[in-house]
Structure 1
């Protein structure tokens, strides 16, 4: 699955533009009166201004070259602090069953952002890490009341299966593949590695399945 476009809400569009456009340095970053569009490799992340919802929080992950994780840590550390995973101060999450490693940080508008190096993807790079190394939106979190119902619905509507290396529970499921995943979380479950409760804020997703069918999903 490929996540082509993800549209989220923010109550502070100017702060989002400052962080993603100026501090992170995305060059294809287009700001209008009520929307910020950011091209992230082959995906587009969009923030839409909201006055009705205060401080909406989402979780999303970005694929990076799987041989540049340490450089990515150095790069993001100059801009935002990587989140600590435990009392030992470790910051690299080792998802052995997914054959991937991640780091996390919180952007200035409150979103939990993840850089993930997936070793099943042939995406090694010979270039030093920079904003151009961000390849695509890899994951987007979906917050639902009953995870099992969403898993069954998405299997029927989109022919999406549970990500094989992952373990589905009553509170969590990953749907898709290494290229793109829906991270389905039960409401009020903590977003790893934080104590932030997952809440169902509106979002829109344009995605392409493995059989080349493009869907638009609004939640």
Structure 2
């Protein structure tokens, strides 16, 4: 499974564009009055404006080369404020064999850089730039109908990572380990790791493998369909 594209909703498009394109330096692919799109390695992120009275909160992760984690963390520290947990600014996930660090974007979405040691390629360089981002590694689907969403994903061949049990109080990782991308299914009100923000059921559209579209509406309705 590859996360080809995702659409996230934004309260202030100008500030969000400034953050991703100017502060971090992502390539701007397209823009209009109500949206803009950036390249995230082989993936694309579409940011679309919406009414600021509609609550939302996102978490997503971006894959980076396996050998550039410390370089990427240093680069981030020069551009944004990295998040800390228990006085640590990074974490190692044994299940994924991966190192991660976290930061907020301009609307306090929780963004993660993840360097999967056994999956992500290495590169022959001692420096890091945003051009080294490989693709979208993870995107969370916040829902209070976790079993329903997981069962629907299973019908399309997207199954829990390593056969793990479905969890209603935490994150359930969906997708094969070797594919380097996962959908995270989690409940509302959960506190994001390395953060003080609570998960909120938020509108989102995701395209997987160029042909499968997953959507959650602002009211929490989940749909999945072939493109």
Q: Which residue does the alignment assign to 1:138?
A: 137
Matched positions, count: 212
Q: Which residue does the alignment assign to 1:91?
A: 89
Work out the CA distance in 1 between the residues paired with 2:201 and 2:135. Answer: 23
Does the 8 A contact of 2:55 with 2:202 survive in 1?
A: no
1:13-65 deviations in Å (ceiling 9; x for gaps): 00111011111111334321000100111100111001254462200000000
- Which of the numbers 208, 212, 217 marks the counterpart of 2:214? 217
Work out the CA distance in 1 between the residues paired with 2:14 and 2:164. Answer: 37
Shift of 1:115: 0.2
Q: Which residue does the alignment assign to 1:187?
A: 188
Runs of 4+ in 1 over 3 A off after TM superposition: 52-55, 165-168
Shift of 1:153: 1.7
Work out the CA distance in 1 between the residues paired with 2:211 and 2:31. Answer: 26
Relative distance call for 1:122 and 1:11 in structure 2 (3 A) is: closer
Q: Which residue does the alignment assign to 1:207?
A: 208
Q: Which residue does the alignment assign to 1:26?
A: 26
Shift of 1:202: 0.4
Q: Which residue does the alignment assign to 1:51?
A: 51
Q: Which residue does the alignment assign to 1:78?
A: 78
* TM-score, normalised by the number of residues in structure 2: 0.88
Relative distance call for 1:186 and 1:74 in structure 2 (3 A) is: same
Give the 3-state SS of the residue equivalent to 1:22 in structure 2: helix
1:138-160 deviations in Å (ceiling 9; x for gaps): 1000001132222112101x111
Shift of 1:165: 7.8
Does the 8 A contact of 1:173 with 1:184 survive in 2?
A: yes
* Range with greater deviation from structure 2 (22-31 or 185-194): 22-31
Does the 8 A contact of 2:55 with 2:200 survive in 1?
A: no
Output the aligned Cα RMSD.
Answer: 1.6
* TM-score, normalised by the number of residues in structure 1: 0.91
Does the 8 A contact of 2:8 with 2:47 survive in 1?
A: yes
Work out the CA distance in 2 between the residues paired with 1:122 and 1:182. Answer: 17
- Which of the numbers 111, 114, 117 marks the counterpart of 1:113? 111
Q: Which runs of 5+ in 1 are unaligned?
A: none
Does the 8 A contact of 1:60 with 1:141 survive in 2?
A: yes
